[in-house]
Chains A and B, each alone.
Chain A
Amino acid sequence: MMKVKRGPWGRGSWGEAAAVLDPSKPKLTTSAMIASIASEGQRTSAAPFGEALVKVARERPDILGLTADLGKYTDLHVFGAAFPDRYYQMGMAEQNLMLAAAGLAHEGFTPFVTTYAVFAARRTYDFISQGIVEEGLNVKICCALPGLTTGYGPSHQATEDLAIFRGMPDLTIVDPCDALDIEQATQAIAAHHGPVYMRLLRGKVPLVLDEYDYRFELGKAKLLRDGAEILVISTGLMTMRALEAAQRLEADRVGVAVLHVPTIKPLDEATILREAGRTGRMVVVAENHSVIGGLGEAVAGVLLRGGVAPPRFRQVALPDAFLDAGALPTLHDRYGISAEAMAGSLRSCLQ
């Protein structure tokens, strides 16, 4: 049987596939787990999840931090430094991580658990489902490297985590956009009683939403800007890409509205139906996730069931494929989720 070949090898023979560096271009290196998704010159805030959790935990002695050998890579080490006796290094054993969190929640504690999104979604699904969520235990699962935020390839790219977790009853799912969103979402999920899965951006996280009249509310979609031609419904980091693309299209006198949907489940169906129901605007759903099973299909279902038919419906999302390894800016362009690629998609859907 022929082995599947990916990357440049999949596109040609060995000889053709060998990369030749063009000395005139800057060399982009593979974005490691510690890489920031911030673009050149973008304002950032350091470790917003870890900092926010420390702030909340000062008033909440029930909050504990647990990780599976990824404290430094999920910003939970900030919590560990502030509260060493409330920080549990559980070892690289994600199944046991989820179960131990369930046990601590049984005893009345509120564990914040961190690992990478791929491991939570793929490896520990049953442990989250039957250990934590079926019993409604108060565990917050906060995971770095959502969607395409590392260049390590499919082993680390959680392109289907939303699809996987949306199938789990009673699990709240949050995909914040930027540092401000993460800070406020951390406070909100700590105040909420029940199991939550939250996607995390870590390290130097872009700060964007402070320029908008915005406040995170669990379960609420928020209109960040209005526009007459296109309604973008977006979540996670794609909201910042949508805002940037909207600015680019504004220069061409194309009005782009952006509805930010940081809570994927339960979905704010009323706001989505209201905004999509305003006549004449085409709807583009943008997410840092596969086209399968994420926000795009969730919104499509809401619109169909609600009898709302926009003139056009498009998805800006990752393809249903195991993605390439490489440098993040290259990959974001290749798979259509950079601001520039997104602006191009919006323009093309007007034609």
Chain B
Amino acid sequence: MNAVTGARANAPGLEERARNIRRHALRMGQVQGQGYIAQALGVADVLAVSYFHALRFRPEDPEWEERDRFLLSIGHYAIALYAALIEAGIVPKDELETYGSDESRLPMSGMASYTPGMEISGGSLGLGLGIAVGIGLGLRRKGSDRFVYNLMSDGELDEGPTWEAAMSAGHWKLDNLICIVDVNRMQADGVSTGVLNFEPLPAKWEAFGWHVQRVDGNDIPALIRAFDTARELREPKPRVIICDTKMAKGVSFLEGREKSHFLRVEAHEWDLAVAALDEGAAA
């Protein structure tokens, strides 16, 4: 791994950001009484480091040419990205009350045509990385020094096009492409590696020509180091950060709950979950 930057000093701020992202996501879950809340809580630290440490963007101009592109391949993680976009000031905070409602800009599955800051329409899983390859090639053509990030889930490792794209990115030596794999080990039908075993993951990505890091995706200082390494690397390779995350992270009474892919949360538990977050912060 390459040198650690001085960004570690920002870590306390990022923890607060991550907690706010979790809080926004829980509020949206409460509005609908449901949602992919376990994923949102699990990936909140990754999003906090992405938006408040790594990415360049202008909240008032989500299509700013000089921004880093951040693709949400996993459409159903929209609740998590909306929370980050709200925290980043790209989407107004009061809009989270509309989540999943008719005429809302925040539908259950993320679409570029609905939401400012949502770069692509994800949801048909396995599409993001290929689009990131095209964006990476496009940025290179334009002489841009910006990065394209693709956030995908471990479930998307089952999809063939993920590996077509992985080979393609390796072939084109796309050093402006950073793929983040959220390994929360849970898919619709059960434990990810039981649904389809994708391990050993680092060896697979390395074989496709990628620079690989694997980190605890709920450890903010570790994420900062990984993102810095990915951005500062001189090797002409695409970069992947495999993030092992914990479903429902931060809300202790939800962390161990079964069937976490579409986590059942009782009506009275949403407020308790927010309280549990704050307790965790105080502890």
A: residues with CB less than 8 A from B are 88, 90-91, 93, 95-96, 98-109, 111, 126-127, 129-131, 134-136
Instruction: Give the residues in chain A near B141, CB-CB below 8 Å.
Output: 104, 107, 109
Asked whether, in the complex, the Cβ of A99 is within 8 Å of the Cβ of B131, the reply is: yes
Complex Cα spacing A103 to B124, Å: 16
B204 → chain A, closest Cβ, in Å? 17
- Residue on A with the closest CB to B124? A130
B134's contact among A93, A106, A126, A134, by CB below 8 Å, is which?
A: A106
- Residue on B with the closest CB to A105? B134
- Residue on A with the closest CB to B119? A106
B21 → chain A, closest Cβ, in Å? 25
**Chain B stretch 118-160: residues in CB contact (< 8 A) with chain A:** 119-121, 123-124, 127, 129-139, 141-142, 148, 160
A135 → chain B, closest Cβ, in Å? 5
A104's contact among B123, B137, B160, B167, by CB below 8 Å, is which?
A: B137
Instruction: Report if B164 contacts A (CB, 8 A).
Output: yes
Number of interface residues of B (CB under 8 A): 31
Greatest chain A CB density within 10 A among B69, B112, B131 is at B131
Instruction: Report if B93 contacts A (CB, 8 A).
Output: no
Asked whether, in the complex, the Cβ of A106 is within 8 Å of the Cβ of B124, the reply is: no
B277 → chain A, closest Cβ, in Å? 34
B: residues with CB less than 8 A from A are 69, 111-113, 119-121, 123-124, 127, 129-139, 141-142, 148, 160-161, 164-165, 167-168, 171
B138's contact among A93, A103, A136, by CB below 8 Å, is which?
A: A103
- Residue on A with the closest CB to B159? A95
- Residue on A with the closest CB to B171? A91
Greatest chain A CB density within 10 A among B119, B137, B148, B168 is at B137
Instruction: Give the residues in chain A near B130, CB-CB below 8 Å.
Output: 95-96, 98-100, 102-103, 127, 131
Complex Cα spacing A98 to B135, Å: 12
A269 → chain B, closest Cβ, in Å? 27
Asked whether, in the complex, the Cβ of A109 is within 8 Å of the Cβ of B168, the reply is: no
- Residue on B with the closest CB to A86? B141
Asked whether, in the complex, the Cβ of A99 is within 8 Å of the Cβ of B165, the reply is: yes
Asked whether, in the complex, the Cβ of A134 is within 8 Å of the Cβ of B111, the reply is: yes
Asked whether, in the complex, the Cβ of B127 is within 8 Å of the Cβ of A106, the reply is: no
Instruction: Give the residues in chain A near B129, CB-CB below 8 Å.
Output: 99
- Residue on B with the closest CB to A124? B161
B109 → chain A, closest Cβ, in Å? 11
